[in-house]
C-alpha cells in the first residue's frame, strides 16, 4: 500500500464558531498556507509559529478519513432538513 503525505498541523476552530472539521488548509505561495473556513468562505492567516508538519498516511487510512468526513457531511445535511 503506498504512503501519502498530508499536512498534520492542527487547525483551530474559526472565530465564527465553525468547528475544526469545517476548516481546511490551503496553499498560499511556495511555503505559506491559509486556514480556510468552509462556512464563511473566507481565509485567514495562521497564528505565528503554527506547526504545519507533513505526516505519512496510508492510502487505506486516507480513504477511511474521507468516508468519515462524507458521513459527517451527510448527517449534517439530513439534520438541516434538506
Report domain extents, the chain: 7-79
Can you give the pTM of this predicted structure?
A: 0.61
Residue 64 confidence (pLDDT): 92
DSSP 12-61: PPPTTS--GGGEEEEE-SSS-EEEEETTTTEEEPPPTT----EEEEEHHH
Residue 78 confidence (pLDDT): 85
- Write the CA distances from 56 to 8, 26, 50, 53, 60, integer angstroms: 9, 18, 19, 10, 12
pLDDT value at 31 more than 80: no
Distance CA 41, CA 18 (A): 11
The string of pLDDT tens digits covering residues 33-53 is 888 998 899 988 888 888 778
| Mean pLDDT score of the chain | 84
Residue 1 — pLDDT band, cuts 50, 70, 90?
low
Amino acid at each position: 500500500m503506498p504512503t501519502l503525505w498530508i499536512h498534520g498541523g492542527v487547525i483551530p476552530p474559526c472565530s465564527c464558531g465553525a468547528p475544526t472539521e469545517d476548516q481546511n488548509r490551503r496553499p498560499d505561495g511556495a511555503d505559506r498556507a491559509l486556514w480556510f473556513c468552509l462556512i464563511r468562505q473566507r481565509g485567514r492567516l495562521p497564528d505565528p509559529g503554527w506547526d504545519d508538519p507533513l505526516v505519512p498516511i496510508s492510502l487505506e487510512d486516507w480513504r477511511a478519513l474521507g468516508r468519515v468526513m462524507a458521513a459527517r457531511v451527510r448527517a449534517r445535511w439530513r439534520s438541516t432538513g434538506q
